Structure 1
Amino acid sequence: MALILRDETHAILGACFEVYREKGCGFIEDVFQECLEIEFEERGLPFVSQPSVELEYKGRILRKRCVPDFICFGKVILEIKAVKTLEDAHRAQLINYLKATRMKVGLLVNFGHHPKAQHERFVL
């Protein structure tokens, strides 16, 4: 069975792994956010950094918005963390972003883990 958006998620993860190889762990999330913006640009990967996404309730638009770290290729949400280990709250956050955007695929990448970046793939 083929993975949905396999090439796109592979390209995103490749950029994430390069940032991790270059910076290691121990920095705050904002540092990795900026490094990924540079890496995506260098690789020619289309992305929007920290887009403001409308939320709705019973058909009404809310004043509050959600802000995923990245939307890549217009189809994949990338949420990054810089924590010791991923927790269920991080997974729930990404799943909620997928629901809010009606996108199907999300990646959760943790730059705070040693000796390798953690990553999880979600499909709704």
Structure 2
Amino acid sequence: MYKILPRSNGPVLGVEISGKLELSQEQELTARAEELIAGHDKISILVVLGDQLSISFEAATSDIKWMLTHMGHLRKVAIVADSKVLAALVAVDSLFAKVVGIEEMHYSTEEIETAWHWIES
């Protein structure tokens, strides 16, 4: 499941994902992002990932396809999670993201305020 964070504003979308994310929920999220793209062209996304997160194969595939086709509209992506594995993955992925003009950062849950400041700047 997911919820849109109340601090979302303008070209910034904040989302908290926990539990199991199904394809229909992934499609709702990408539709919301596309609405922001239509109004702002480039958007930034802050994603807070819960500890017990799981994602269906269909939702993961849909997310990857969406990212590949919309990366030209992404300015910044902040991933907020306490996983050291995820932190390492974001560090590697951020190198590739930079090639296409996307800034990507990982923050721990204790650093969420710093993540918001970065994504909003």
With structure 1 as the length reference, what TM-score do the two structures score? 0.36
Q: Which structure has the greater CA radius of gyration?
A: 1
Bigger proportion of residues as helix = 2
